[in-house]
Structure formats: C-alpha cells, structure tokens
Amino acid sequence: MANNTLEHLLEVEASAAAMVNDAQQEADRRMRENEEKNRITFEERFKAEIHAREESLKLKKEETKIKYQKALDDYRGEISGLNVDEKKFSVLFNSYLENYVSKEG
C-alpha cells in the first residue's frame, strides 16, 4: 500500500511538472507574440514620426527659401534705387586706403 501511495504521489508530481512546463511554454509563446506586436507597433509609430518630421522639415525649408528670396529681392530693390557717384566713391576709397596704409606702414 505504501508503494502504491508513493507511485501515486510520483505520478501526481510528474503530472504537476508537465502542467508547469506546459504553462511556462504557453507563457513564453504569449510573451514572444506580445513582444512581436509591440515591436511592430513601435516601428510603425517610429516610421510615422519620421515621416511627419520630414514633411515638417520640407515645409520649413520651403518657407525659409521663400523668406530668403523675398529679403534678397527687397534688398536688391533698395540698392538698385541708390544713386552712386563712382568718382566720389573712388576718391573717398583711395583716400581711405592711403590713410590706412600710412598708419600701418
């Protein structure tokens, strides 16, 4: 009778070990599935964020290009209306150079 009881306990222990092993395998499988789903979700969100930032950068670059061109056009408009006396400028510039060279020399 003690032999039967020991055999029964060993069978119960083996059955419990098999159940624990099955449960661990199921838990591992579910964890792998969840990790894969999370990885895919992360990659999709990451790609969407990259795309959004690239689009934002394109818009900002285009806005900057337009602002730069407008500022350049405005500047060109301002200086094209100036009346420059080249003879006076040349005299003034040469005078400046002579003073600068005499101070340095």
> Which amino acid makes up residue 84?
V
pLDDT at 46 over 90: yes
Rounded-to-10 torsion of CA 60, 61, 63, 69: 160
pLDDT at 25 over 90: yes
For the entire predicted model, the pTM comes to: 0.53
pLDDT category at 71 given cuts 50, 70, 90 is very high
Lowest mean pLDDT among 12-16, 53-57, 82-86, 94-98: 82-86
pLDDT at 83: 86
> Which amino acid makes up residue 54?
E
Residue 105 to residue 100: CA distance in whole angstroms: 9
pLDDT at 55: 98
pLDDT at 104: 66
CA-to-CA separations, 73 to 53, 65, 70, 81, 90, in angstroms, rounded: 30, 12, 5, 13, 27
Residue 78 to residue 84: CA distance in whole angstroms: 13
What's the average model confidence in pLDDT over 80-96? 89
> Which amino acid makes up residue 63?
E
pLDDT at 36: 97
Q: What 8-state DSSP symbol labels residue 85?
A: -
The rounded mean pLDDT for the chain is 93
